[in-house]
Every structure is written in C-alpha cells, then in structure tokens.
Amino acid sequence: MPITIRSIETAVPPTVLRQDEIRDVFAGQPDLNRLGGRLVRAAFDVSGIETRHTVVDELDHASAGLPRTDSEPPVFYDSASGEILSPSTGTRNDVYTDRSPALFLAAARTALDAVPDLDADDVTHVVTVSCTGFFAPGPDYAIVRGLGLRPSTQRYHLGFMGCYGAFPALRAARSFCLAEPDAVVLVVCVELCSLHLASSNDPDTIVASSVFADGAAAAVVTARPAPAGEAVLDLDAFETVLTPVGEKDMAWTIGDHGFEMVLSRYVPHIIEEHIAGALAPLLASVPGLADQPYGSIPRWAIHPGGRSILDKVQSTLDLSDDQLDPSRETLRTYGNMSSATILFVLRHVLHDQDPGAGGERVCAMAFGPGLTVETALLTHRVVDESEDGE
C-alpha cells in the first residue's frame, strides 16, 4: 500500500502584521543610517508579502502608535518611543517556551481531527520540527500529553535545520511506515521566527526581517488504507543535495540577543545556478521523468523563502504562474515561517487542487542552511473503492 499524507492542517498566532505598517516601524528605527532606511523600505516593498503573523503581541498595530494596555514593561517593542528593543536570547527563548506549545497542539489536534477514522490511540510516532527555540521536556512530549496519546508513543525532534526541516520529518515518517505498516505518524512543525527579528543596517539581517514570520503545521502520515473519495498525497520519493557553494549565505547562529539569521541576497542566484542539478537525482528515480520538461509535472510546492527565490525557480524551470500559485499565495498571506511553510503550500495543493482521474504528480522542494536543497515527489489523488479501508 502507498504511504500517504492523510491530512495537513495549520495554526497561526492571532497577531497580524501588515507588511506596509511593519515596514515603517523598521524603517523608523533610530539606529538606522540613511542607507539602512532605504534598504528596509526596498526589501519590505519587494517581498511579495502582504500579511504575516507573530507571537510578539506588542507589535499589534505598532505603526499606529497605540499605547500598551497593560502595566508590564515592553520587551520587544516600545510603543511610546516606537523603538524595536533587543531582549536577551534567554528572554526570547522564554517566550518560545511559553507560546509554542499551544501552536504545536493546535496544529496537531486539527490534523488528527481531520482524519475521522483515526484517533489518539492510533498514533504510534510523533516527529516535531523547530529551529527557533528549545525546551525540555520538549514539544514532542507536550503533544503526547496534550492530545492524550499513548505513553508508549515514539517521539523524535528535529532541531535547527531551518526551512527544509519538514522534509527529513516526512522522510522519517515514511521510513517508520515502511518498517511498521500499521504506523500512524504525526509530523508537527512550529516556528516563531519573529522572536529573533532585529533592527540592523546589515543587508542580510534586513532581508530576514522583511520575510520571516510565525506559524505551525501538522501532517498525519500512514500506510493504513483511506476511505474511498478522500484526497491524499502519496509520499513517493525524497532526495537531498548540498550545493557546492552557499554555506555562509543561509545560516543561523545563537547570539546574545537572539538567533542571528542570515538570508543572503545571493541565495536566489545560487538556487538559479544549482537547482537543475539538485533536482536531477529526484527525477531520475522515475523512469523517463528526467527527459521531460520540468513544466510537465503538473503541481509544484516550492518553499517560498522570498519572492526573488520563487522568481528564480519559476524562470529557471520554466514553470507557469498557476504552478507557482500555491507558493506565492502562502508567501503573500503568511510570509516565510521556516520549516512549517512547505506544509502550508502542500495543504493548498491537497485541499484546493483537483487531481482529476488517476491523480497528479507533485514536485516539492525547500532550501536551507548548507546550502541544502531537499526535494520530494508526491502523488495527489483521490482514493478509489478498491483501496477503501472501510
């Protein structure tokens, strides 16, 4: 039996950042020089983002200069002065520890509820992914306790992989299902990137501040048969490739005032130069596929690391606007939520696209530190009566 993604569901914090408003906040910081201010406006304006979500509630309506309604001193943003503050890494991580469990649970619970023939007792494995904070017992533990999963549920956490982290998690889920055909794996990605945004004149830091956001996504993976008529995504093949350059162009380090994110302006050019080579081993896994134009693959789920990255992928692979729509819509509405983002894109494919008779092939990819390119082939299809698990 094929190993399938039965559901993908998402969760975001309630505070919404409008890109034009938060641009003005960053552009108005007292530590910026004239060039820095111009770079902020340019980066935010060309990002392809309209809204993002954040757990930093202090930024709610920040550009309107609204006063805080509580008596606590500001931590991330002082509305009285309009200044973005620089709390310690420990303070930022305290907020991650406080706010991330609810998002892990919300996405996981919704994904499991979306598969009515499965419940908490069916889950055999939990795989969590995050690179924006740490605590122990960790999010894998919180999910087992919060959802009432069996104490024997196997738990795994993948940390600090960045934007491609969902791919190793899905690959692990597939391996668990191959080894144990009755396995049901819950994959949950949560990133609170906004905890680490900072004001700076550095161009790479400015680019990071213009795109990163907070969000959560979860998927249920299993080889158990699905009911007839249900749309699923089969996990067909995975590949990982390290490009020969780019190690310093996409990276994270832990500083005294947060995780320091590097998203170099050269990343789109690196991707443009090496994307064909990164895709080659994946396409070679299907006889004849490597000889076809890239556009012959009907559906694409590309991690929207930024608008320029999507532009380079589209032009290099000669893909249509429709093929990029799930990625661009995710970027426009949610920004770059690191590892969770590709699951938002795949949810778009799973729920909003008609696979037609016989299903459609989907090619997914994400980019991360290294520079690492993770790719996958999936099949989007509707289960027919011959497979019905009822």
CA 308, CA 17: separation in Å to the nearest integer? 21
> 241 in the Ramachandran plot: left (φ > 0), alpha (ψ -120 to 50) or beta?
beta
b/e string for 99-136 if b means 16 or more Cβ within 10 A? Answer: bbbbbbbbbbbbbbeebeebeeebbbbbbbbbbbbebe
Task: Output the CA angle 4-6-8, nearest 5 degrees.
Answer: 115
Burial class (CB in 10 A: 0-12, 13-18, 19+), 192: buried
Catalytic positions: 163
Is residue 261 within 8 Å of residue 212, measured between CB atoms? yes
Q: Which residues pair with 241 in a beta bridge?
A: 373
Q: Which DSSP string corresponds to 306-322?
A: -HHHHHHHHHHHT--HH
Q: Which residues pair with 18 in a beta bridge?
A: 51
Is residue 187 within 8 Å of residue 156, measured between CB atoms? no
Residue 145, token pair as written in the block: 């306790």
Task: Output the CA angle 328-160-311, nearest 5 degrees.
Answer: 20
Classified as helix, coil or strand, 54 is strand
CA 280, CA 65: separation in Å to the nearest integer? 51
User: E strands of the chain, at which residues?
Assistant: 4-11, 15-18, 51-54, 77-78, 83-84, 125-130, 154-159, 184-192, 214-222, 231-242, 250-255, 258-263, 299-302, 360-368, 372-382
